[in-house]
Amino acid sequence: MSNVRPIPSPSTPYDDRAQEVDHPSSLVAKFGMDQPLRLDCGVDLAPFQIAYQTYGELNADRSNAILICHALTGDQHVNNVHPLTAKPGWWDTMVGAGKPLDPEKYFIICSNVMGGCMGSTGPASINPVTGKAWGLEFPVITIPDMVRAQAMLIDRLGIATLFCVVGGSMGGMQVLQWTAAYPERVFSALPIACATRHSAQNIAFHELGRQAVMADPDWRGGRYVDEDTHPHRGLAVARMAAHITYLSDAALHRKFGRRMQDRDLPTFSFDADFQVESYLRYQGSSFVERFDANSYLYLTRAMDYFDIAADHNGVLAKAFAGIKTRFCVVSFTSDWLFPTSESRALVHALNASSARVSFAEIETDRGHDAFLLDVPEFFDISRAFLQAAGKARGLANGGSQS
Amino acid sequence: MSIQQALPLSGVAPERTGSYRTDHLLVADMVQPDSRVLDVGCGDGELLELLESRGIDGRGIELSREGVNHCVARGLAVVQGDADTDLVNYPDDAFDYVILSQTLQATRQPRVVLENLLRIGHRAIVSFPNFGFWKMRLQLLIGGQMPRTENLPATWYDTSNIHFCTIKDFVQLCDEINVKMERAVALDLYGRPVPLNLPWWVWNMFGEQGVFLLSRGGQGK
């Protein structure tokens, strides 16, 4: 077994990652002891901070603001080079000049979620009471908590009503929470590849990931920062397992098939003989360069707890009763993590609430990740929806062709 | 008398009237202002747009993705779905009108669909091609082949229309499931209404399509 290579330790210096956690290279909104964030678990979190990026200009009416909600392992760096990985923004396909979310037309905001590790307060942040990283002493965060924090940020930016709230996966959950909690503050909503509750299968996958992190001896009960270790192997395994759920059988087969990695014959060992193994290991090892293991525990937990209907006596339609927001719900045919049936259940509830909803299922074999990729049909419907909503909102150039 | 003269629609500019399909104008005329409408099989949203221009709150269901895209681009609220499988998910009395325009013959279970229309909506407006139209009869009688017309050009093996019926057949179904016909109009080949005072068999012979305004019948039969 001598030729089996373990997942390497992160090459990004720890100090760089720690810098982004507490002093991010983003805009930061700080909330003091007088403005606590009331969490669902009963804790008032104060002080706390939200790291965010903006693109484009807010118009004089303050009517062209779009909030992008990022997914589980995303962050606020939507459309700029990432400060840790030096890779392009995670939604460059959707955001940019001539793209559906065009900073020439809209004022685009994206904030790192509470519990994240790119500048918003989370388990990797310094607990001001102890002077050490919060670790597992950080209170459990929910999707409604994330949205409550975003609403405080939007207040601070002086925006009463968002033109649109958009996001995929966990970002889509936040979109739905926005419309359920602040319907009058959301003119239009674009929830993508998401659900109104996390399914048992999805909770199961998350538990697998968390157990992988916690089984790593370097996790040290969550105190790895103090003990100068890092559970990168456990976190990488969690990422590898999760990454499979973001793809599809067809996409994996098309991309890799049974092709070998830099060899023609099997090595009769447990090294990465197959390209697909090598790819997964790469996904795992690059993830640990930029993500905090405890953050992964907290954010997966937030998704597990998400269930809008449960907050409304089990009746989903009640969450959206009388809502005026215009919805466009999008799902992808090969997404088995958030299958179309989940989106349809949402659409039925919105219909039952007389909401103004459109829904499209996009045909693609690229699985859940399709919303991050170049899928023209998805861009077409997003652009069409935003332009029509822009007209209804009275945005000067909202309805123009780009 | 042209259809435009027959249907002076409030809220539709006279110069635009000609650009709408005659059956759409007829349907729009059957819908009271300020009502809520679900258009099942709404295509590219032409009828919905006409209705919304008259202040009606419209929603649509459309099977094809291209159709949904067109509708969304027009600012309409349209859900991708199938009349056969998705109507069951709509609550009772959700709409004032549910419209099924030129779609009944393409459903797998027309009777169930019709029942659902009148469960979801207080009224239903249904239009369909009349297979009892004289040209159809003639093609089958003389030509001995499944009829094809300008409006229904597909061959029998690639048509999506799997449940054709005649106006007479439809009236019979309405009777069977206790559906009340509030208004019935047959349009001839040129989209002109067949005069009202003529007997049913004339409609069934000379109506190229039928447009019906339906409501729920009383209890029992």
**What DSSP letter does each residue of A185-223 carry, written as one string?**
GEEEEEEES--SB--HHHHHHHHHHHHHHHHSGGGGGGT
Would you call B180 helix, strand, or coil by DSSP? strand
Question: B127, B103 in Cβ contact below 8 A?
Answer: no
A369 is in an annotated binding site: yes
Residue B73: list chain A partners with CB under 8 A. Answer: 384, 387-388
CA count, 13 A, side-chain hemisphere, B29: 20
Min Cα–Cα distance to chain B from A317, Å:
11
Please state the rounded mean pLDDT for residues B142-161: 91
Would you call B65 helix, strand, or coil by DSSP? helix
Min Cα–Cα distance to chain A from B175, Å:
30
Residue A342: list chain B partners with CB under 8 A. Answer: none
Query: Could you tell me the maximum CA-CA distance found in chain B, to the nearest angstrom?
Result: 49
Contact assignment for A352 to B72 by CB distance below 8 Å: no
The two tokens of residue B171 are: 């009236």
The reported pLDDT for the residue numbered A15 is 78
Question: A38, A99 in Cβ contact below 8 A?
Answer: no
The two tokens of residue A201 are: 């299968």
Closest CA to A358 of B55, B1, B73: B73
C-alpha–C-alpha distance, residues B22 and A221, integer Å: 73
Average pLDDT of every residue of chain A: 94
Residue B78: list chain A partners with CB under 8 A. Answer: 358-359
Asked whether residue A204 carries a pLDDT value surpassing 70, the answer given is yes
A169 an active-site residue? yes
Confidence label for B218 from pLDDT (cuts 50, 70 and 90): confident
| Weakest mean pLDDT among A105-119, A388-402, B31-45, B74-88 | A388-402
Buried/exposed code over B187-196 (b: 16+ C-beta within 10 A; e: otherwise): beeebebbee
Average pLDDT of every residue of chain B: 88
The reported pLDDT for the residue numbered B17 is 56
Its ipTM equals 0.83
Asked whether residue A170 carries a pLDDT value surpassing 90, the answer given is yes
A71-90 pLDDT, tens digit per residue, is 999 999 999 999 999 999 99
The reported pLDDT for the residue numbered B16 is 54
B138, containing H or E segment: helix B134-138
The reported pLDDT for the residue numbered A397 is 60
Please state the rounded mean pLDDT for residues A119-126: 97
Residue A147 DSSP one-character state: H
A156-168 pLDDT, tens digit per residue, is 999 999 999 999 9
**Over pLDDT 70: what percentage of chain B?**
90
pTM: 0.91
Tally Cβ neighbours within 10 Å of residue A322.
Answer: 8
Confidence label for B194 from pLDDT (cuts 50, 70 and 90): confident
**Over pLDDT 90: what percentage of chain A?**
92
Question: A319, A311 in Cβ contact below 8 A?
Answer: yes
Contact assignment for A360 to B65 by CB distance below 8 Å: yes
Confidence label for A401 from pLDDT (cuts 50, 70 and 90): very low
Contact assignment for B90 to A351 by CB distance below 8 Å: yes
**Residue B198 vs residues A65, B133, B165, B184: alpha-carbon distances, Å:** 60, 15, 21, 12
Confidence label for A17 from pLDDT (cuts 50, 70 and 90): confident
The reported pLDDT for the residue numbered A16 is 78
Contact assignment for B94 to A352 by CB distance below 8 Å: yes
Confidence label for B5 from pLDDT (cuts 50, 70 and 90): very low
The reported pLDDT for the residue numbered A258 is 95
C-alpha–C-alpha distance, residues A105 and A63, integer Å: 11
Contacts of B208 (CB under 8 A, 6+ apart): B129, B130, B133, B135, B149, B151, B186, B187, B188, B189
B49-82 pLDDT, tens digit per residue, is 999 999 999 999 999 989 998 999 899 999 999 9
Confidence label for B8 from pLDDT (cuts 50, 70 and 90): very low
A326 is in an annotated binding site: no
Query: Number of helices (H) and strands (E), helices first, in chain B?
Result: 10, 7
A330-383 pLDDT, tens digit per residue, is 999 999 999 999 999 999 999 888 899 999 999 999 999 999 999 999 999 999
